[in-house]
Structure formats: C-alpha cells, structure tokens
C-alpha cells in the first residue's frame, strides 16, 4: 500500500532527486533492509551533457545504491535509469543526482565512508560499514581521483623532494611535498628515485608554476638536482641537514667498524656493543650508557675523533647567517682534513662540492624537516597495513591520508 506521508518523508531525507521522486518505501524487518524506490517523471526530457541536444531513450536499466542506514536498517535506493543515445556522442547512461558515475553508493554514504576510512585501516572500515574490502577500496580510489581533479596549486613557493623505500631491495618512490595553506601536503608520487621520477612532477606542475618556485629542498642526489635545474632554473637548491647528518653518522660507524677489525684487543673490548652510542646525539644518550660513554668520547680512539667531528658539525645550524656558516664550514673542513679519517674526509669533500646548496638553508630558513615528518607517517601507514604488494594502492593511500585533498563527494553537487 502506498504511504504518501512516508514517501514524502524519505523524499525530504534524500533531498533534490529530480526528475526522479520517491514512489515506494519497502521495509524488510526480517533482513533489516529498507528499500526506497524512485521513479522518473513521465514527461522528463533528456539532454546530452556535451552538446545539450535532445537524447532518445534506448532502454531502461534498474540500478541499486547503498544509502546511509535508517536506524539499524540498511537503506537501499532503487531506480530505473535510462540508457539514452545522442546522434553525435553515442549511447550514455543518465547520471542520477544522488550518486557519482558508476558507483553503487550514494554521495552521502561515500562521504561518511571517506571519514571512516580516514580514521582506520581499510579492512576495519569495511567491517564497520558492512561492505566488502574491494568496495571500500573503490570508495577510496574515487575519493582520491575526485580530490586530485579539484586540487588547485596556488602560491606554491617551497618544495621538498625525498625518496621513500617501499619494498625489498632498491624499491623506492619519490615523494614531493609542498607547503600549501601553511601545511605540508604530498603533491606527487613518482616511481623510483631517478631523474624521470621527479620530471613527472615538474611537467604536471607546468612551466608557469615552476617559475614561481623559490627553493627546493632535497638530498644530494645528482638525479634530483639535474631534474630541478632543468625545470626550475630560478629556484635555489637546499641540501637537507637531516641527510647530511645521516651521511656523517654512516661515516662514524664505518670508522668504528674498521677500528674494531684493525684494533688491538683492548680497543675491541672498549668498542664492544657501542654502535648506537656513537650515533646518538650527546643530549639524547640514555642515562644507562652515560658513565661508559663519558670515558669513551674523550679517548684517543679513532671512533671518538670521528664522533667529535660529527658533533661539531651539529652546531652548524647555530650560525647566524650565510657568511657565518661559510666561515664555520671552512674551519670544520680543515679539522676533518687533518683527522686522517678517510670515511669522514670523504663526506666533508662531498659537503664542499655542494657548499652553495648547504649555505642556501640560511637564506630561506627552509629544509626537508616537514617532508621527513610526512615520511615517518607514511612508514607508520605501511606498518599498519603490513606492507603493500601493489604499488598503486600505496600511492593512493598516501594521497588519501597525506595529500590534503578535498574528497567530499557532496561538495561537488
């Protein structure tokens, strides 16, 4: 029996659905399903979305969409949708106002699903929403496509470029992070860590936007440098302090390993189980190691000398300007060259070759720190998901969670 009041009630819930309107509401108490049927007005005229010419109906197809639950009842919308034909643009399925494209979920359900997916892993979200994992993943992919289509890069002046290991062996993605509205946003993900991986971002950004870039922060990768200089000739290169400290820590550890192999029994005993001590900053050393390390750091060990040079470099960031930093570097470089520690000298020579990009840090006061924070969150995402076998799904998830995209499907209506 037709319940006019109930139909009107659900019409208000669904909002504007013209030329369809609610014609019947069927309640299945046994299966906790509420089905809302919509029918199209008989005098509806269909126009081609491209040429706006009148289209003729070829056939009708019944489709169903999952909507927001009504109390504990799963709500399903059902409607006959015409397949229409334009003489110029061919056959097309009419777009309904309450759902997007070929999606089997309404816009309001997808909005809620996106919020749930942002808060928890896909498997858990699918369980809460009572949909399959594939359906939840499809909602996520549509959300990212929607967000990327809406994204407008306005006022982008500073960019961070970093690599992220995503699998076994030499498996990397290039992560480009930009500062938009004062927040770090993942703007682009390229496969690999070569020049081509970064070229894709500059080509996507366009020459006009590239010309507005003031500085690009990165490690000392020749590939990234070459790509940036080619597409952004006006931008300053900033070599990230985090990667420089990483290079020095690696050199200190190499000195320690060589000393363990070549040193006396006394030296080997002194260095036993000290690897992590030399890599910590002095202020971060755990209290349980303080007494032992106090004796080691001032010793004549080669590792101790390498560590003192590394700690001295950490004070580089206290320089007040580029001139002060330039003077500091040359004093530090002279000490390293006198140290006879080849591993540390190799790093110092690399710093000297890239000195202009190192000093640029003091001009812009900008580095990869924000990008490293995003990378840490990406790593946590990978760990929570127990890894990704599909590279494309990883990229979708990164953009979904860290792209700062406007993914609300209702906002477009």
Q: What is the pLDDT of residues 55-72, one digit of tens each?
A: 888 888 899 999 999 888
Q: What's the Cα-to-Cα distance from 205 to each of 144, 181, 355, 362, 406, rounded to whole Å?
A: 18, 17, 28, 27, 19
pLDDT, tens digit, 9 for 90 and up, residues 390-409: 888 889 999 999 999 999 99
Q: 96-129 burial by CB neighbour count: b if 16+ within 10 A, else e?
A: bebbbeebebbbbbbbbbbebbeeeebeebbeeb
DSSP secondary structure string for all residues of 249-315: HHHHHHHHHHHHHHS-HHHHHHHTT-HHHHHS-GGG--HHHHHHHHHHHTSS-HHHHHHHHHHHHHG
How would residue 74 be classed by pLDDT, with cut points 50, 70 and 90? very high
Average pLDDT over residues 367-381: 82
Q: Considering only CA atoms, which of 75, 74, 78 is closest in space to residue 64? A: 78
How would residue 169 be classed by pLDDT, with cut points 50, 70 and 90? low
What's the pTM value of the predicted model, to 2 decimals? 0.83
Q: 7-20 burial by CB neighbour count: b if 16+ within 10 A, else e?
A: beebbeebeebebb
Average pLDDT over residues 215-233: 92
Architecture of domain 158-240+387-412: 2-Layer Sandwich (3.30)
Total residues belonging to the chain: 413
CA atoms of 162 and 371, how far apart (whole Å): 7
pLDDT at position 57 is 83
Mean pLDDT score across all residues of the chain = 89
Residue 43 clears pLDDT 80, i.e. is over it: no
Share of the chain above pLDDT 90, in %: 49
Residue 1 clears pLDDT 60, i.e. is over it: no
Query: Count H helices, E strands: the chain?
Result: 18, 10
Residue 413 clears pLDDT 60, i.e. is over it: no
- Do 48 and 89 contact (CB within 8 A), yes or no? yes
Q: Give the angle 182-184-188 at the CA atoms, nearest 5°.
A: 130
- Residue 52 exposed, middle or buried by CB count within 10 Å (0-12, 13-18, 19+): exposed
pLDDT, tens digit, 9 for 90 and up, residues 312-366: 999 998 899 999 999 999 999 999 999 999 999 999 999 999 999 999 988 888 8
203-208: long-range pairs with CB below 8 Å, 24+: 203/231, 205/153, 205/156, 207/231
Any idea which residue has 């369809």 for tokens? 20
pLDDT, tens digit, 9 for 90 and up, residues 290-317: 888 888 888 889 999 999 999 999 999 8
How would residue 184 be classed by pLDDT, with cut points 50, 70 and 90? confident
User: Helix %, strand %, coil % for the chain, to 5?
Assistant: 50, 20, 30
pLDDT, tens digit, 9 for 90 and up, residues 99-143: 988 899 999 999 999 999 999 888 999 999 999 999 999 999 999
**End-to-end alpha-carbon separation of the chain, Å?**
33
Q: In what order do the strands lie in the sheet with 158-165?
A: 183-191, 172-180, 158-165, 215-218, 236-239
pLDDT at position 170 is 67
User: Does residue 251 or residue 286 have the better pLDDT?
Assistant: 251
- For strand 158-165 and strand 172-180, is the pairing parallel, antiparallel, or unpaired? antiparallel
């Amino acid at each position: 029996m037709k319940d006019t009041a109930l139909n009107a009630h659900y019409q208000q819930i669904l909002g504007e659905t013209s030329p369809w309107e609610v014609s019947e509401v069927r309640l299945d108490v046994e299966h906790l399903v509420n089905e809302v049927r919509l029918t199209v007005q008989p005098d509806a005229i269909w126009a081609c979305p491209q040429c706006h010419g009148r289209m003729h109906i070829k056939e009708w197809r019944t489709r169903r969409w999952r909507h927001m639950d009504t109390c504990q009842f799963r709500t399903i919308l059902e409607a006959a949708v015409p397949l229409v034909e334009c003489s110029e643009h061919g056959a097309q399925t009419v777009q309904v106002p309450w759902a997007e494209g070929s999606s089997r979920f309404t816009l309001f359900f997808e909005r809620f699903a996106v919020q749930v997916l942002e808060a928890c892993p896909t498997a858990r979200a699918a369980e809460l929403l009572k949909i399959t994992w594939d359906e939840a993943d499809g909602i996520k992919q549509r959300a990212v496509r929607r967000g990327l289509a809406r994204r407008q890069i306005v006022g982008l002046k500073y960019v961070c470029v970093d690599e992220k290991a995503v699998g076994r062996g030499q498996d990397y993605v290039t992560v480009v992070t930009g500062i938009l509205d004062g927040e770090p946003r993942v703007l682009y993900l390229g496969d690999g860590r070569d020049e081509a991986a970064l070229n894709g971002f500059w080509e996507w950004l366009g020459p006009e936007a590239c010309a507005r870039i003031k500085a690009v922060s990165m490690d000392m990768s020749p590939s990234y440098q070459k790509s940036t200089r080619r597409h952004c000739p006006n931008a300053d290169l900033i070599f990230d302090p985090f990667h420089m400290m990483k290079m020095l820590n690696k050199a200190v550890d190499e000195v320690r390993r060589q000393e363990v192999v070549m040193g006396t029994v006394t030296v080997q005993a002194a260095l036993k189980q000290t690897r992590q001590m030399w890599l910590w900053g002095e202020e971060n050393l755990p209290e349980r190691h303080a007494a032992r390390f106090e004796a080691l750091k001032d010793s004549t060990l080669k590792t101790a000398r390498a560590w003192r040079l590394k700690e001295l470099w950490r004070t580089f960031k206290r320089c007040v300007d580029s001139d002060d930093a330039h003077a500091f570097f040359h004093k530090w470089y002279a000490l390293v060259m006198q140290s006879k520690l080849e591993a540390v000298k190799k790093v110092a020579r690399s710093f000297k070759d890239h000195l202009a990009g190192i000093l640029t840090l003091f001009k812009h006061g900008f580095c990869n720190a924000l990008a490293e924070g995003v990378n840490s969150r990406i790593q946590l995402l990978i760990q929570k998901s127990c890894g990704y076998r599909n590279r494309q799904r990883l990229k979708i998830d990164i953009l979904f969670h860290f792209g700062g995209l406007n993914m609300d499907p209702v906002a477009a209506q």
